[in-house]
Amino acid sequence: MHAALDAYLKHLRSERQMSPHTLAAYRRDLLKLLELCDQQAITAWAQLDVRSLRSFIARLHQQGLSGRSLARLLSATRGLYQFLIGQGVCQHDPANGVSPPKRERRLPRTLDADRALQLLDGAVEDDFIARRDQAMLELFYSSGLRLSELTGLDLQQLDLADGLVQVLGKGGKVRVLPVGRMARQALEHWLPLRALAKPVDGAVFISQQGRRLGPRAIQLRVRQAGVRELGQHLHPHMLRHSFASHMLESSQDLRAVQELLGHADIATTQIYTHLDFQHLAAVYDGAHPRAKRSKAGQHASVISEDETRPKRARPQSSENINEQAEPAPTPDQ
């Protein structure tokens, strides 16, 4: 069983080009599955059945494993069995029809447009680290890059003349993205300083020793920028979420945002429509004189009618809510 598992992981790494982080998560999940098989004296993948797998999922859930983690374990199991069926090792998939416990869907955290501009529009010192960090922040927000995409970015993937960047996304999929004006300017300030550090390869973002910055180093620099400029926790994916949310608010083009983010399934992108509704709901609650909420748990905070009712003024119509909402600037602004 170990040999078949190793062959599958090798397939994910070499042919599917799965990221090291995701590959490590799949390995952990499938080793848990192997442990289950050992406990039940199962000696071949073909012997694992639906009943045993469902019992195992229930036990892990009782032990506190989240629905999200269990969904990933089942996804890894389905992938393994698809591979084994293709290899002629098995003829069934025990994960077929097994669903993880329903999990709460958490909305991604974002910066609003004003906070994003506050982060990026501060004074930047003309030195190696400041210029590099500013270019990273601008590119994250301008193009909605994943951390792995920015970490692996090479000079040959940048076309500043045309304002484009080519990135290698999940599953080895390549996409070409626009680079906004402010991000181009930040990169133009950074690249001459980069050249002085005698880089050891073509990495766009490097240390003062000339080596490519790793994911943890970039996360640290982004977190420090968040504390320094905003007084809050900030991580690279929050900038990607902010890019997506602001693009959707401004364009209302879900398909375009899906392409920019590199999502294979538009359902993944639709999470940002919930954020857009939250924004509209907040505008409504702040503007309408009868927007009081009495039930706990609704999207808006409770506002007293005394606070919202205008004095000696004609009540505002809810039909004008959208006109009250100032559209968020695009990432280029």
- Which is catalytic among the residues 78, 263, 279, 292? 263
Phi, psi of 175, deg, nearest 5:
-140, 150
Partnered with residue 158 across adjacent β-strands are 165
CB atoms within 10 A of CB 200: 12
Partnered with residue 167 across adjacent β-strands are 175
Residue 21 appears among annotated catalytic residues:
no
Cα–Cα dist 327/7, whole Å: 51
CA 303 from chain centre, in angstroms, equals 33
Residue 274 appears among annotated catalytic residues:
no
- Which is catalytic among the residues 131, 240, 246, 288? 240
- Which is catalytic among the residues 26, 81, 132, 146? 146
- Report the amino acid identity of residue 17: Q
C-alpha distances in angstroms, 76 versus 5, 25, 146?
Answer: 11, 9, 22
Instruction: Show the DSSP H helices in 87-146 as ranges.
Output: 113-120, 128-143
Burial of 48 (0-12, 13-18, 19+ CB in 10 A): buried
- Which is catalytic among the residues 8, 26, 81, 272? 272
Residue 246 appears among annotated catalytic residues:
no
For the beta sheet containing 164-168, the strands, ordered from the edge strand earlier in sequence to the opposite edge, are 158-159, 164-168, 174-178
Burial of 306 (0-12, 13-18, 19+ CB in 10 A): exposed
Burial of 227 (0-12, 13-18, 19+ CB in 10 A): exposed
Please tell me what DSSP assigns to residue 290.
Answer: T
* 147 close to 198: Cβ distance less than 8 angstroms: no
H or E segment and range at residue 14: helix 2-14
* 157 close to 165: Cβ distance less than 8 angstroms: yes
| Tokens coding 309 | 């009712």
Residue 170 appears among annotated catalytic residues:
yes
- Which is catalytic among the residues 68, 170, 211, 235? 170
- Which is catalytic among the residues 54, 61, 68, 237? 237
Residue 146 appears among annotated catalytic residues:
yes
Residue positions annotated with a catalytic role = 146, 170, 237, 240, 263, 272
